[in-house]
């Protein structure tokens, strides 16, 4: 009988606690967002008590870190690709025009980090070079012998030998909620 009374007491406490879940009785410092599709991802909300809440999306983030930068001049030309066709077009022309995303930060330190966020699942690859003369094109020895004359790098730290790399040599998978660190060691020709 004692066990029954304890169970009855616990059940009563449970019913009482559940009755307090009315949204009008909730604390003012908690925001419940029911209509997420009307909000932009990563928006910042400030409620009446100045509590800051960031709406976090379910997409992935890739942080690119470029290391082994020897010359602190020019700009780092960063092409971020999500398909083989665009990759092949830009690798062949040595100009980034068909990338999924692009960044062109100035080179001021020996290590450089760039964040690419709100990515959907898929396969992605980086192709980078340090544009020392800032002409927007990767300098090569000659058209007949296209050996890079400016520092360069690819995701997976792929180093080509006799030909330009394929997308499949450099891509990496990205899934929902991923937070991926990609490190590229710059190759100095």
Q: What is the pLDDT of residue 32?
A: 28
Is the pLDDT at 33 greater than 70? The verdict is no
Residue 55 — pLDDT band, cuts 50, 70, 90?
very low
**Distance of alpha carbon 177 from alpha carbon 59, whole angstroms:** 5
The burial of 21, by beta-carbon neighbours within 10 Å (0-12 exposed, 13-18 middle, 19 or more buried), is given as exposed
Q: What is the DSSP string of 55-109?
A: ---SSEEEEEEEE------SEEEEEEESSHHHHHHHHHHTS--S-SEEE--B--S
Mind listing the pLDDT tens digit for each residue in 67-99? 999 999 999 999 999 999 999 998 888 777 788
Residue 48 in this model has a pLDDT that exceeds 80: no
Question: If you average pLDDT over residues 56-68, what whole number do you get?
Answer: 86
Q: What percent of the chain has pLDDT over 70?
A: 69
Contact assessment for residue 139 and residue 133, using Cβ atoms and an 8 Å cutoff: yes
Ordered by where they begin, the domains of the chain are: 2-54 (no CATH), 60-185 (2.60.40)
pLDDT digits (tens, 9 = 90+) for 121-156: 999 999 999 999 999 888 888 777 778 899 999 999
Number of C-beta neighbours around residue 124 at 10 A: 24
Q: Which range among 62-66, 98-102, 145-149 shows the weakest confidence by mean pLDDT?
A: 145-149
Q: What pLDDT is attached to residue 54? A: 43
Q: 36 pLDDT exceeds 70?
A: no
> Among residues 161, 105, 102, 157, which one has the least CA distance to residue 130?
105
Instruction: Determine the average pLDDT of the residues in 163-168.
Output: 93
Query: Whole-number mean pLDDT of the chain?
Result: 78
- Give this prediction's pTM: 0.68
Whole-angstrom Cα distance, residue 29 to residue 45?
12
């Amino acid at each position: 009988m004692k066990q029954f009374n304890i169970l009855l007491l616990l059940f009563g406490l449970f019913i009482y606690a559940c009755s307090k879940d009315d949204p009008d009785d909730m604390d003012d410092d908690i925001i419940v967002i029911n209509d997420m599709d009307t909000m932009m991802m990563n928006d910042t909300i400030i409620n009446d008590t100045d509590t800051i809440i960031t709406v976090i999306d379910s997409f992935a983030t890739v942080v690119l870190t470029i290391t082994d930068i020897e010359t602190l001049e020019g700009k780092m030309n960063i092409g971020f690709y999500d398909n083989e066709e665009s990759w092949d077009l830009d690798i062949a022309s040595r100009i980034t025009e068909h990338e999924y995303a692009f960044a062109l930060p100035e080179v001021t330190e020996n290590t450089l980090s760039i964040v690419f966020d709100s990515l959907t699942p898929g396969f992605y690859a980086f192709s980078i070079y340090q544009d020392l003369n800032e002409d927007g094109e990767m300098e090569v020895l000659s058209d007949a012998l296209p050996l890079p004359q400016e520092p360069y790098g690819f995701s997976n730290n792929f180093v080509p030998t006799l030909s330009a790399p394929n997308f499949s040599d450099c891509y990496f998978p990205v899934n929902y909620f991923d937070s991926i660190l990609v490190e590229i060691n710059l190759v100095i020709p």
